[in-house]
Structure 1
Amino acid sequence: MAESQTTTPLFESRAEIDVEATPAEVYAIVSDLPRCGEWSTECTGGTWVSGVPGGAGAVFRGHNLRGDDVVAWAPVVRGTWTTEAEIRTAVPAAEFSWAMRDSRGRPQSSVWTYRMLPRPDGCRLVHHFRMDTPTEGIRKITKDMDDDERRRFVTEWGAKVSGDMHETLRRVKALVEKNR
């Protein structure tokens, strides 16, 4: 009998919020990545660089900004930088997800998802993040760390991501409900 294998992710976080808007209205906002500076805690916007904008397989180049106080002791990227993400799912009014790409343009095990779940008074917006194995960036950050420092980094970075996701959802909710 074959044993089933489960992968414990390096990072996994989930946040949810109820929004007084239809799943289609929420999807229209969260899938419009060039506008993400209106709700993201790090991404300030960007451009579609290939594919049908917002469609599965499209590539988005994001512009990001991170302050010096974020996990201040670790060698994370600070200031401005760009990333590329490849859209994995684009199902209007239901789900939008993307995987971060490495420097060679390959999707990594760093997947961000929005799901819109219908409710009688609007929808529940779920934001999920999962990284099964370290990305190129995480490997660079942790390459000179000992085991204790790596554990500390994973704990602190995970808390940072979780906090960012909750704040992002709060901002999406405010933006969508204000524009109804």
Structure 2
Amino acid sequence: MSKPKSVWEEFFADKRSGGHRSSSEEFISREAREKLFHLDGGKTLLDFGCGAGELLVYYALEYERLVGTDFSASMLDEAGKRIRKRKSENIALILADDKTVWEKLDSSFDRITAAGVIQYLTDEEVDTFVYNSSRHLNKGGKIVLFDLLDPRLYPLWKIGFFSRDFGYWKIFRKIG
């Protein structure tokens, strides 16, 4: 087995769910509606870093053709299950990262989005991602980036430090 390229690849290597604040369908549905508002139309969408496809299946209701990409095979496996369960036949999945995705695409898009992903890239990688994205946009297309978190805060967020019902005892129980 080859060594992961980055700490994030190692972290997400066996993950099976996205990093949403809540995994309830009600929450994911609301989050998707909000993001769809900002995506504001188009017929084709590339969801870079689609993870387990939680948002992707909601986007599928609004777009004719979607491509979801992620570098985590386990996340794409979950996305595939979710897509089959929802019978979302307008979604294709690609195993790729920010460097390899562009050579695996055979078309351009009206919208390119990334939710909760960009913070894992260096400033130079973000610049390259935006440049490459712009080369894969249809005329009038948009790049929409969501949920830009400081990755140093991610562990605190994951254990509930920023939640409404924050409590030190809850965090200690979660850690322990």
Please give the TM-score of this superposition, normalised by the length of structure 2. 0.30
TM-score (norm 1): 0.30
> Whose helix proportion is higher, 1 or 2?
2
Q: Which has the larger strand fraction?
A: 1
